[in-house]
Amino acid sequence: MTHQQFRYMSENIKTIRSTGWKTDFIIGFPEGLLLLFFTTFLSHDLDITVQRFYTINTLIWIIGSVLVMITAYYANKGDTQHDVGTLSAEERRKLEDLEIGHHIIADIASEMERDANDWENTLQQEQVAVTHFNLGRALLSAAITGFFFLVGGILPLLPYLKNENFYRAAQNSVTFCFVLMILFSFIKSKMTNQPALPVILRNIGYTGAVYFGAWIMAMIFR
């Protein structure tokens, strides 16, 4: 692909426009928080050295942030398969090669156009902006999402870094994570104009499920 072709693609591929750093925060922070909450609680009671505990969870923290950044980049890049809402000439030719009748091909094209129009109407009703793909913006969004993942991920690990009595550190980490999730949920409700209580209860439920899952697995591997 030439530079000119890549530039054309960057300017013409449509993608759903996020709300910027707020979306990156809402995605990245809780993922980092919950992942490291799970792995630290699971591994704190295993028969491993303190240094290995730190090494394992640091690697998970870093690798997780990279994976989240990649996911965020492709989410911002959009899906080129659905950029065009009509049947292309190449697609029509492939259908004709399969000896599909012209009236069926016409019906398929009509359905595709109807679906595209319904999608556009849905985006307008939900006030979701659609913009052309921009490489710089996608990379920036990925970096910010990764940053928020790192911030969220380091917080469950802090009690273990401060106190090598892992039993006490685990108790502090659990309390800390639930408090942080309540605070995050409140902030998220304000950012998204949702009632605070349902968001808080839902995210406490997620956190409780992560805690319960880590506790069960710790019992299995103990």
Q: How far apart are CA 203 and CA 131, in angstroms?
A: 31
Q: Which residues are CB-contacts of 11 (< 8 A; sequence separation ≥ 6)?
A: 132, 133
Domain boundary among 127, 153, 184: 127
Query: How many Å apart are CA 180 and CA 32, to the nearest integer?
Result: 12
Residues 67 and 176 in one domain: yes
pTM above 0.75, yes or no: no
Residue 119 banded pLDDT, cuts 50, 70, 90: low
According to DSSP, residue 80 is labeled: G
Which pLDDT does position 120 carry in this prediction? Answer: 65
Counted domains in the chain? 2
121 shares its domain with 176: no
> Please, are residues 113 and 85 in contact by the beta-carbon 8 Å criterion?
yes
Q: How far is CA 64 from CA 28, 137, 176, in A?
A: 10, 21, 21
| Domain with 163 in it | 3-78+133-221
pLDDT recorded at residue 9: 43
Same domain, 209 and 100: no
Q: What is the DSSP string of 16-29?
A: E---THHHHHHHHH
**Could you report the per-residue pLDDT of 143-194, keeping only the tens digit for each?**
999 999 999 999 999 999 999 899 999 999 999 999 999 999 999 999 888 8
Residue 62 has pLDDT above 60, yes or no: yes
